[in-house]
A and B are shown apart, each in its own frame.
Chain A
Amino acid sequence: MTASSRIGPSDLLRAHVLALALGTLAAPAMAAPQDLTAVPFEQLLTMEVYSASKFVQQANQAPAMVTVISAADIRDHGWRTLAEVARSVRGLYVSNDRNYSYLGERGFLRPGDFNTRFLLLVDGNRVNDSIYDQAPLGGEFPLDLDLIERIEFVPGPGSSIYGSNAFFGVINVITRQGGDLAGRRVLLEAGSGGARKASVRAGWRSAGGTEFLLAASSRRSAGEDLYYPEYDTPDQHHGVASGIDYERGQRLLASIAGGPLSVTLMHASRTKGVPTGSYAQRFNDPRSRTVDRETLVNALWRSSAGAKEQLSARMFSGLYDFLGDYPDGDGLFVNHDASHARWWGAELSVISTRLAGHTLLAGLDYQRDARLAQRNFDDPGAYNLYDRRQARRVGLYVQDELAVGAATRLNLGLRYDRNSGLPGIVSPRAALIHALTADTTFKAIYGTAFRAPNAFERFYHFAGEGGQLPNPGLARETIDSAELALVHRPGENTRLTATAFRNVVDGLITQRAYAGIPETRFENAARVRARGIEFEYERRWQRGAAMRASYSYSRTGDGQLVNAPAHLAKLNLAAPLGAGSCRGALEVQYVGERQGLAGTTPGYVLANANIVHARLFPNTEASLGIYNLFGRRYADPGAAEHRQAAIAQDGRRLLARISHAF
Chain B
Amino acid sequence: MRSERARRLGALAALLGALCAPGAAQPVQENDMKAAYVFNFAVFTEWPQEVLAGGAPISLCASAANPLFHALSQLNDKVVNGHRIAVRNTVTPVRGCHVLVLDKNDRERWAQLKRELAGAHVLTVSDDLSISADGAVIGLSVDERRIAFVVDMAAARSARLNLSSKLLRLARSVQ
| Residues in chain A within 8 A of chain B (CB atoms) | 28-29, 31, 33-34, 36-37, 39, 41-52, 72, 75, 179-183, 204-205, 207-209, 305-306, 543-544, 576-582, 611, 613-616, 621-622, 624, 626, 652, 654, 656, 661
Contacts and interface: CB of A to CB of B under 8 A. Distances in A.
A47 B146 contact: yes
B23 interface: yes
B26 A180 contact: no
B21 A52 contact: no
Given A50-B29, A205-B133, A209-B133, A579 B23 contact: yes
B27 A543 contact: yes
Contact of A579 (B9, B16, B25): B25
B173 interface: yes
B24 interface: yes
A624 B16 contact: yes
Contact of B172 (A36, A44, A182, A576): A182
A181 B143 contact: yes
Contact of A207 (B23, B142, B170, B175): B175
Contact of A49 (B22, B43, B78, B145): B145
18 contacts: A36-B32, A36-B35, A43-B25, A44-B37, A46-B146, A47-B27, A47-B146, A48-B146, A49-B30, A49-B147, A179-B133, A182-B172, A209-B134, A580-B26, A581-B25, A582-B16, A626-B9, A652-B9
A179 B126 CA distance: 14
Contact of A611 (B13, B40, B43): B13
B173 A205 contact: yes
Contacts of B78: 37
Task: From A37, A179, A181, A582, name the one whose CB has the most chain B CB atoms within 10 angstroms.
Answer: A37
Contacts of A582: 16, 19-20
Given A39-B36, A50-B29, A52-B29, A577 B20 contact: yes
B150 interface: yes
Contact of B30 (A44, A52, A181, A208): A52
Interface residues of B, number: 51
A41 B40 contact: yes
Interface string B43-75: 110000000000000000000000100000001
B17 A49 contact: no
Contacts of A41: 40, 43-44, 166, 170
A580 B144 contact: no
A52 B27 CA distance: 12
Contact of A44 (B36, B129, B175): B36
B145 A48 contact: yes
A208 to B, nearest CB: 8
A182 B148 CA distance: 9
B24 A29 contact: no
Contacts of B20: 577-579, 581-582, 611, 613
A179 B172 CA distance: 11
B13 A580 contact: no
B90 interface: no
B28 interface: yes
Contact of A179 (B12, B23, B36, B129): B129
A643 B13 CA distance: 39
B161 interface: no
A180 B36 contact: no
Contacts of B148: 45, 182
A581 B75 contact: no
A49 B141 CA distance: 12
Interface string B133-166: 1100000011111111010000000000000001
Given A42-B170, A208-B133, 16 more contacts: A29-B26, A33-B29, A37-B36, A37-B39, A37-B78, A49-B147, A180-B143, A181-B143, A182-B172, A183-B143, A209-B134, A579-B20, A582-B19, A626-B13, A654-B9, A654-B12
A205 B13 contact: no
Contacts of A576: 26-27
Contacts of B170: 41-42, 45
Contacts of B23: 579
B4 interface: no
A33 B44 CA distance: 24
A179 B129 CA distance: 8
B105 interface: no
The 3 A-B pairs of least Cβ separation, nearest first, read: A209-B133, A582-B20, A36-B36
A39 B33 CA distance: 11
B150 A49 contact: no
Contacts of A579: 20-26
Contacts of A181: 143
A661 B143 CA distance: 11
Contact of B145 (A44, A614, A616): A614
Given A36-B32, A47-B28, A580-B26, A614 B144 contact: yes
B81 interface: no
Q: Which of B16, B17, B39 has the most CB of A within 10 A?
A: B16
B7 interface: no
Contacts of A544: 27
A622 B170 CA distance: 23
A624 B12 contact: yes
Contacts of A180: 141, 143
A613 B19 contact: yes
B145 A50 contact: yes
Nearest to A72: B145
A49 B133 contact: no
Q: Which of B24, B31, B67 has the most CB of A within 10 A?
A: B24
Contacts of A204: 173
B66 to A, nearest CB: 13
Contacts of A577: 17, 20
Contacts of B129: 179
Nearest to B147: A49
Contacts of A626: 9, 13
B141 A182 contact: yes
A73 to B, nearest CB: 13
A43 B29 CA distance: 15
A25 to B, nearest CB: 8
